[in-house]
Amino acid sequence: GAGVSQTPSNKVTEKGKYVELRCDPISGHTALYWYRQSLGQGPEFLIYFQGTGAADDSGLPNDRFFAVRPEGSVSTLKIQRTERGDSAVYLCASSTTLAGELFFGEGSRLTVL
């Protein structure tokens, strides 16, 4: 489809493992955002890309989290040494312009056992 695509939709991993979550934004959208939604809470900002560069990564909780967008389209959120507290739905969104309407993907549900 033409929407934001996120894979995998579900990921179960063990504590200490490495995880990658992928986001394919809407074609032509230059801005890409990652949010994290824990159970019973609203989404929490993680990082924002304008083109290939991370314009603001102030929401990343610690240095175990890293995100890239090497060609200005697909983005990968990488989590090292996963912890149980990382369990959440990771939402990706894109927009045509900075602060334009956000279009969200369905999210990747991460469960760390």
Partner 1 sequence: DQQVKQNSPSLSVQEGRISILNCDYTNSMFDYFLWYKKYPAEGPTFLISISSIKDKNEDGRFTVFLNKSAKHLSLHIVPSQPGDSAVYFCAASHMDSNYQLIWGAGTKLIIKP
Distance CA 77, CA 110 (A): 12
- By the 8 A CB rule, do 9 and 106 touch? yes
Does 56 bind partner 1 (CB under 8 A)? Our answer is yes
Query: Could you say which of 43, 54, 82, 86 contacts partner 1 (CB under 8 A)?
Result: 43
* Site membership for partner 1, residue 2 (CB under 8 A): no
For partner 1, the binding residue among 4, 19, 21, 54 (CB under 8 A) is 4
Among 1, 2, 27, 42, binds partner 1 (CB under 8 A): 42
Among residues 44, 57, 74, 76, which is the contact residue for partner 1, using CB under 8 A? 44
Residues facing residue 32 across a β-bridge? 49, 94
Count the residues in the chain.
Answer: 113
Residue 45 β-bridge partners: 35
Element (H, E) at 14: none
- Work out whether strand 19-24 and strand 5-7 pair parallel, antiparallel, or are unpaired: antiparallel
Q: Which stretch binds partner 1 (CB under 8 A): 13-21, 62-70, 74-82, 100-108?
A: 100-108
Q: What CA–CA distance (Å, rounded) separates 32 from 52?
A: 10
Name which position in 48, 69, 75, 110 contacts partner 1 (CB under 8 A).
48
Q: Which residues bind partner 1 (CB under 8 A)?
A: 4, 31, 33, 40-45, 48, 55-56, 59, 91, 93, 98-99, 101-107
